[in-house]
Chains A and B, each alone.
Chain A
Amino acid sequence: MAEKTGSEGAEDPLSTQFVVDHHVDGHRVNVAELPRPVVEELKTIGHDAHDIRLAVKSDLGPDGQFGEQWLLIDQQHLLVLDRPNGRAYQRYRFELGEIEDASIERCVGNGLIQVTAGKSPHVLLHYSNDLTDRFGRVAHYLRERAKHGAETPIPEANQDAHACINCGRYLADPSSRVCPNCIERGKIFRRLVMEAKPYWGKVVLIVVLLVAGALVNLVPPRLTGILIDDVLRPDGRTEMLLWLVLGLLAVRVSSVAITIAKNWLSINVSGQFTAGLREKLFSHLKSLPVDYFDKNQTGRIMTRVNQDTSELQGLFDQLTNFALNLLMVVGIGIVLFLMAPSLGLYVLIPTPFVIAAAYHYYRDMRPHFRRFWIARWRLNAMLNTFLSGVRVVKAFAQEDQEEQRYHQRNDRMLQSQLRVNLAWGRFFPLISFAFSAGGLIIWYAGGQAVLADRISVGTLMAFIGYLGMFYGPLSALTQVSEAMNRFVTISQRTFELLDEAEQVQPERPLRKPKLSGSIAFDRVTFGYDPYFPVISDVSFEVKPGEMIGVVGHSGAGKTTLVNLLCRFYDVTDGAIRIDGEDIRDLSMDEIRRQVGMVLQSPYLFRGTLAENIAYGKPDAGYAEIVRAAKAANAHDFITAMPEGYDTIVGEGGSGLSGGERQRISIARAILHNPRILILDEATSSVDTETERQIEEALNELVKGRTTIAIAHRLSTLYNADRILVLNQGKLEEQGTPQQLMDKGGAFYNLVQMQSQMARIDGSTASL
């Protein structure tokens, strides 16, 4: 097996990421990027700006106001310069050699970088949250330099981790790669069109139907014009009356038929398209690494998969309506001008007012709607919390206060609802007035034209008929830009999720059909945020079949340790090996198949108990399922249920007690039959009797497997081969329980503390 790490000059993924040049001397800051006053101040204090190797600017001044400070590092020194009012002066100067440690700390809305020099702590400067990454890299460099000396490569600190890959600007959304400025709307549309390839034929058909529908709608006013001019007059051609009316009927019928066909088609296409998209999203989601789900709240992901796709569908339908409206406006406009060019101009007079009124109105309406939705959401949320916490409410006799709260929110909702309805109530009369005012102008101007015999009465009537169909679509079109905006936003978000990188799988994964189950942690360092390591420099080895207990305070990194073993996350530094192979070289399926987990709060899926037990092996037969349940001490309570193994449990296993859920998950692990077993606080939060039953089940499970057990109750670890004691992410002690007890260290103290607690428990129990 190749030794990849552990040697001197180990590749540190943190620094290699932003190192430009490994030769320390080769890296220099471009002096032109430093402000003049900074360069001059450097000269006055005896430094040459050309020697500066790292320069990072903070956006806060020493007084907590927005301002500017510079952290500069040259070959030997670290300098901090303040720049008030365009000038610059030195605040601190340290010899790099005297800096023993460096770190960044989070404050509220900002952060600080501090160093330890000469055993005493010094805060260098504060910076706003935007710059956390940059100063994190500086602190990391200083820390490494304190350990490894001047050979430590200097990082490229002024590049943001969350920067747009196109323009380098800071990215608001950590899950995206391109900033809104660089998103090309055209590209998104092109991609949407490509995604919709299977439906192109149907889309063309929809467009044809739209055009046909628009044309058909243009016919009736023309026919009524003819009716008035040529038929409904003393010497009219009365024989045409029936034909014209039949013609009108035919037009209406075909219009209805076309509309129904168009709606049917577009609903089908948009429905199928978005259903396909949803499926694509889900299949992509399942292959994303766990840290994607840490970074993005469940709610946000749900929104993207469910709400966004259905909104996309609604927008599709809306867009076809816009297309129809646009065709209508253009078609009617052309017809009006052809019929009577002089009257056509009058149509245009109210047009700007209609557009402006509709645009402003919709814009001012939106906040009312939003306020109403939020008020309604708050009211629902309040009812929800009340119902789920009703026992607490009653226990503290707070019914009246809750009622008062509900009343307030209800009142708020009522107010916002009234506002919405009143605003709508104002809107409709006003907008229809705007439409009819346009008609009045035509009545007047057209009436004069009729009197002067320039146009016929029939033309005027047709004209007015067309006009009625003109302003409606026109005012609807003012919403196009808003709808398009939503459309682009949502498509972009959807594509972003589709483009999210899947977990890195080895190119040629090693397949090991049968693992012996040895584990080695080799100087493993890991942080969910690389600058705040949760596990640092942990090394240990586990022989096949050994049982290892992991103990430590909460937050010591126990769960993180096992998450790393399952490769839910990748180590920041160091390596984890199973059977001597780096787990990053093993195929993911292999790891998951050979590593089983029993968690503190086991998750049961909605389905029967049998399905839940066989979750990891869906083709398991009755015999296997029942044997696993029997071994897990679950068989008895399952058979006592009216529906036995066919009992349906809800999400999270509602309807079962904690201990019962736990035993189901143990049965699941037994059936899964992994070589390596992880028990994460498997017996916490259950009573002693249940614990005993679970213990029995676990003893059955761990036989012949490599086991790593995280335990809160130390008594459960007495038969462990070895105990690891974690403290603040570091391995504090390891050894057999007896060795550690004899040593009288951290483990001994933990045991002492727990036995005191047990005595208190015992004395209260005997009362």
Chain B
Amino acid sequence: MTKSYELVYLAAEHVRFRRHGDTLSLTLLTEDGVSVDYPRVILRACFPVSDSDAFLSVRDAGEERQPEIGVIEDWTQLRQEDREAIAAELSLYYLVPKITRIEAIREELGFLYWTVETDKGPQDFVMRNNITHNTREVSPNHWLIIDVNDARHEISDVTALDARSQKLLGRFLSM
């Protein structure tokens, strides 16, 4: 048995991911031809902000502590079917809408009310008007905005937004 502090890499040829509805399952093929079934696994990106494709932690959802089965160094190198299953699971697990346009920002009683257009559809959200705690500059012009529900909204490039959106951002967020 592998020691718990050793990192287990899952190689492309040893994993078979499958989705049944919204449930992701994994069949792990070991060296000696034995296979282990995990009826439900969850995926967590180790570097969700800086490189969401690198080091995906695969965990067994069936156990209370959700122990790690192993990590996938680069899931884009997996077989086609596995990639599709993983991409679908990730897009459900990580709901971080990318803001493409800002319709309005309104300030009221210490909160900012945003109306935005995102890659996942139009959205309204509320943010505590405290810039130092609720925004994060990932890199120049790349921002994360954290709302009152602890959900994140991404602006991958402020300068790529239209002029009106940029002006609204400048007025309320002083980025």
Contact = CB atoms under 8 A, between A and B. Distances in A.
Contacts of A368: 174
Given A64-B120, A66-B123, A121 B22 contact: no
Contacts of A123: 21-23, 40
Interface stretch (A103-111, A234-242, A562-570, A686-694): A103-111
A232 to B, nearest CB: 53
**SS class of chain B's interface: helix, strand, loop or mixed?**
mixed
Contacts of A161: none
B94 interface: yes
B132 A121 contact: no
A222 to B, nearest CB: 44
Interface in B80-124: 88, 91-97, 107-111, 118, 120-123
A728 interface: yes
B91 A64 contact: yes
A173 B111 contact: yes
Contact of A66 (B21, B42, B122): B122
Contacts of B40: 114, 120-121, 123
B171 A363 contact: yes
Interface string A194-220: 000000000000000000000000000
Interface string B117-157: 01011110010100110000000000000001111100000
A92 B23 CA distance: 12
Interface in A169-213: 172-174, 180, 183
Nearest to B118: A66
A126 B110 contact: no
Nearest to B66: A105
A120 B174 contact: no
Contacts, number: 115
A180 B111 contact: yes
Nearest to B24: A123
B67 interface: no
Given A107-B95, A128-B151, A172-B126, A489 B109 contact: yes
**SS class of chain A's interface: helix, strand, loop or mixed?**
mixed
Nearest to A110: B95
Contacts of A489: 109-110
- What is the size category of the interface that chain A forms with chain B? 35 or more
A107 B20 CA distance: 19
A108 B152 contact: yes
Interface string A314-330: 00000000000000000
Nearest to B135: A374
Interface string B58-80: 00011010000000000000000
Interface string A87-112: 00001100000000000010111101
Given A60-B95, A62-B22, A183-B109, A110 B151 contact: yes
Nearest to A372: B174
Contacts of B109: 180, 183, 488-489, 492-493
A67 interface: yes
Nearest to B22: A123
B171 A367 contact: yes
B96 A109 contact: yes
Interface string A459-502: 00000000000000000000000000100110011000000000
- Among A110, A493, A728, the most chain B Cβ lie within 10 Å of the Cβ of A110
B171 to A, nearest CB: 6
B151 A107 contact: no
B132 A377 contact: yes
The 10 nearest A-B residue pairs measured at CB: A109-B95, A66-B121, A129-B149, A64-B91, A123-B22, A172-B126, A109-B151, A110-B95, A121-B40, A371-B174
